[in-house]
A and B are shown apart, each in its own frame.
Chain A
Amino acid sequence: MENPYLPYPVRIDNIEIATEDKSLKTFKFVFINPEDEKKFSYHAGQFAELSIPGIGEIPIGIASSPVEKGFVKFTVFRTGVVTSHLHNMKVGDIMGIRGPLGNWYPWDKLENKNVVIIGGGFAFTTLRSSIIYMLDPANRKKFKNIDVVYGARSPGMLLYREELYEWEKRDDINMHITVDGTNDTSWKYHKGFVPQIVEQNAPKADENTYAIICGPPIMIKFTQPALVALGYKEHQIIMSLENRMKCGIGMCGRCNIGKELVCKDGPVFTLEQLNKTPKEY
């Protein structure tokens, strides 16, 4: 068995500024050893440790999709020592990636179901991965209706804007893009907070409809009642959690919620599961 602490070496292939305030950048990595790409075989919803020798590691959701080959992508918010360092790195620099880590959205269970994706702010990375995965021609027929509610503070703070607007034009996905507010008179999508847009636009739940939520705690807190009002039951609400992590493999002991470790047993849990554990996230 391989050393789970040893990162795969990667080269930064591209860096894009993701939001207008430049606090988020999207990094595209290419594996230095091509065989490592195969070993890094992942599902939408998983995360990885981005590993910078001499600086440290950070757990980040994988923003690229399993159907995209030849690279992996991560969108990173600049906030601490490692992320600040990463934001100052340049194309061609060598670093490491450890993973894929954690569980993923329950794709088997979601087959033949309606899927509602709800995201806020920069917690849209694994949701982007999921949408690309579901819209792939080989996969689209596995799912029924797909609805996406995604909101950010302003149009310039939406991640993956080009893709969002492309998806908006398609007829096999219902996009509900929203911003908290904007002075842009040409803005043709929703205005308002995510929970409100969910209440007004998300489909009512039947037993074949599941919601996946990823966002800041405040958005999750107010979206839950909106979903309950639409008839979603605890097991139909799927959430991805974040906690401080180090090892990412269930050993270092800090990310637990009760006996569950967010890094290994999660980060994806249903509300039904979460309601049985201490709310230590």
Chain B
Amino acid sequence: MKFITIDKKNWAKGIEKSRETYRLFGPVKDKNGFFIRDLEKDMLPDMTCNDSVMSVKSVLFPQTEKILFASLNEAKEDHHIMKRVPFDPKQRAVVGIKPYDAKAVELVKMNFDTDDYRDPYWCDAYEATTFVGVGINKPGPFDFSTSTGTGPFSETGLDVLMADLDDAYLAKILTDKGDAFMKSCGFDKVADEKESLALFDILRKEAEKNISSHIDSSKLKDKTVLELHEAPFWDDIAFSCINCGTCTFVCPTCWCFDIQDEAKQKYASRFRNWDTCMSPLFTKHATGHNPRDSKTQRVRQRFMHKLKYFIDKYDQGIMCVGCGRCVKSCPVNIDIREVCKIMNSYVKSN
């Protein structure tokens, strides 16, 4: 295992150097908090970010993405024949990603990269991207990532995991992609492996001790879908929900999308946009019939998808990485940790 020490004095210069090869993304602070942005020239990832309002999902899956276009000009030979928007093949690196967000990318991959179909937009972006993570030394009160198969120093889905040591970063190189990124920055000061491993271990344990919030999802797998779906608690859970959809937008594992067309003069575009299962339109048929017409049905869909359907479909745990964003952002304090507890402990009474 290779470790590299990066003096923070050299950080900015190295990151700038990597731009020769990479298009950079990273956390940037504005008046509403931290967001993951495309880092324009002279912008650096803000490494003071402890948690961002939005996750990194937008790097691979933009909120609005043009996927196809066509000319509607009948004088042109290829009019009305749709074509893919060219893919920018430049390598991308997300710098400062949190380990739980990298785990979320791995979960979302199961949806977009399947045996039957490969979503070329998501998969091409994924393959072009290097994930340079940084461990969370002091997890916040909403973080329950150690209960979801990740944690503040988890390596899943990352190419590099860095530890913030005040005046330096200690980088653990996890993949060839990660190695290539570090080289492009000119970061090459190798650190002692044994000492580094020990240091990472201490930091991880310290950070995990700071996590005070936990969930137990162990019993969900053995319950039947219908038992949970027909359980009596959904009206209570959904009671205060205003169906704003914030939880789905801030969630790093929510991948549902809509496809919409636009035509301007003689040019047609097809876009895909993030969608939300909280919206009645999400499932409304053209006839007016809506299989999830009530808000209780929609709230139930969100939690059943994350905490039951996903388990049954992939057998890879729950579709939640414990980042706590939905808990923090929900305007009416609906808490997935509470819902998980209710579902996990539910026993159908006869």
A residues at B contact (CB < 8 Å): 1, 3-7, 9, 32, 51-57, 79-80, 83, 93-96, 217, 242-244, 246-247, 249-259, 264, 276-281
Also in contact, A253 and B255, with CB within 8 A (given A9-B81, A79-B287, A95-B80)? yes
Residue B226 at the chain A interface, CB threshold 8 Å: yes
A254 near B277 with CB under 8 A, answer yes
Also in contact, A57 and B225, with CB within 8 A (given A79-B287, A244-B284)? no
Which residue of A has the minimal Cβ distance to B112?
A251
Also in contact, A79 and B259, with CB within 8 A (given A6-B84, A276-B225)? no
- Residues of B within 8 Å of A249, CB to CB, are 116-117, 119
| Contact string against A for B residues 212-239, beta-carbon threshold 8 Å, 1 for contact and 0 otherwise | 0000000000001110010000000000
A250 near B82 with CB under 8 A, answer no
Partner of A242, one of B68, B225, B257, B285: B285
Also in contact, A247 and B68, with CB within 8 A (given A254-B275, A254-B283)? no
Residue B199 at the chain A interface, CB threshold 8 Å: no
**Which 6 A/B pairs are nearest by Cβ-Cβ distance?**
A54-B263, A54-B268, A253-B256, A94-B80, A53-B268, A259-B309
Chain B nearest CB from A85 CB (Å) reads 10
A259 near B312 with CB under 8 A, answer yes
Which residue of A has the minimal Cβ distance to B70?
A53
A252 near B70 with CB under 8 A, answer no
Also in contact, A55 and B292, with CB within 8 A (given A3-B120, A83-B286, A258-B309)? no
Bound state CA distance, A256 and B260, in angstroms? 20
Partner of A252, one of B229, B275, B286, B313: B275
Partner of B261, one of A53, A244, A253, A254: A53
- Residues of A within 8 Å of B310, CB to CB, are 259
Residue B205 at the chain A interface, CB threshold 8 Å: no
Chain B nearest CB from A271 CB (Å) reads 15
A4 near B119 with CB under 8 A, answer yes
What are 20 A-B interface contacts by the 8 Å CB criterion?
A4-B118, A5-B67, A6-B83, A53-B80, A54-B269, A79-B287, A80-B286, A94-B81, A217-B289, A247-B257, A250-B117, A251-B111, A251-B119, A252-B258, A252-B259, A254-B256, A258-B225, A258-B304, A259-B309, A259-B312
- Residues of B within 8 Å of A264, CB to CB, are 116
A94 near B256 with CB under 8 A, answer no
Residue B270 at the chain A interface, CB threshold 8 Å: yes
| Contact string against A for B residues 295-317, beta-carbon threshold 8 Å, 1 for contact and 0 otherwise | 00100010011001110110000
- Residues of A within 8 Å of B313, CB to CB, are 259
Chain A nearest CB from B316 CB (Å) reads 13
Bound state CA distance, A259 and B226, in angstroms? 11
- Residues of B within 8 Å of A7, CB to CB, are 82
Q: Which of A93, A96, A242, A256 has the most CB of B within 10 A?
A: A256
B84 near A3 with CB under 8 A, answer yes
- Residues of B within 8 Å of A55, CB to CB, are 261, 263, 268
B70 near A253 with CB under 8 A, answer no
Bound state CA distance, A246 and B273, in angstroms? 11
B residues at A contact (CB < 8 Å): 67-68, 70, 72, 79-84, 111-112, 114, 116-121, 224-226, 229, 255-263, 268-270, 272, 275, 277, 282-287, 289, 291-292, 297, 301, 304-305, 308-310, 312-313
Partner of A54, one of B114, B120, B261, B285: B261
Chain B nearest CB from A239 CB (Å) reads 15
Partner of B257, one of A57, A93, A253: A253
Chain A nearest CB from B74 CB (Å) reads 9
Which residue of A has the minimal Cβ distance to B313?
A259
- Residues of A within 8 Å of B256, CB to CB, are 252-254
- Residues of B within 8 Å of A6, CB to CB, are 68, 82-84
A54 near B116 with CB under 8 A, answer no
Chain B nearest CB from A1 CB (Å) reads 5
- Residues of B within 8 Å of A255, CB to CB, are 283
Also in contact, A250 and B81, with CB within 8 A (given A55-B263, A256-B309, A258-B309)? no
Bound state CA distance, A235 and B301, in angstroms? 27
Which residue of A has the minimal Cβ distance to B288?
A79
Chain A nearest CB from B184 CB (Å) reads 30
Bound state CA distance, A247 and B67, in angstroms? 12
A51 near B289 with CB under 8 A, answer no
Which residue of B has the minimal Cβ distance to A77?
B286
Other contacts beyond A94-B80, A243-B285, A280-B301: 13, CB < 8 A:
A1-B117, A1-B120, A3-B84, A5-B67, A5-B84, A5-B119, A54-B72, A94-B79, A244-B285, A247-B259, A251-B112, A252-B257, A279-B291
Which residue of B has the minimal Cβ distance to A56?
B261
Which residue of B has the minimal Cβ distance to A1?
B118
A4 near B292 with CB under 8 A, answer no
B72 near A278 with CB under 8 A, answer no
B291 near A243 with CB under 8 A, answer yes
B291 near A53 with CB under 8 A, answer no
Bound state CA distance, A242 and B290, in angstroms? 11
- Residues of B within 8 Å of A257, CB to CB, are 291
Bound state CA distance, A95 and B82, in angstroms? 9
Chain B nearest CB from A59 CB (Å) reads 10
Bound state CA distance, A167 and B79, in angstroms? 41
Bound state CA distance, A247 and B309, in angstroms? 19
Chain B nearest CB from A115 CB (Å) reads 27
Which residue of A has the minimal Cβ distance to B71?
A53
Bound state CA distance, A18 and B82, in angstroms? 29
Q: Which of B121, B224, B291 has the most CB of A within 10 A?
A: B291
- Residues of B within 8 Å of A32, CB to CB, are 81
A278 near B226 with CB under 8 A, answer yes
Also in contact, A54 and B289, with CB within 8 A (given A251-B112, A277-B225)? no
- Residues of A within 8 Å of B312, CB to CB, are 258-259
Chain A nearest CB from B141 CB (Å) reads 30
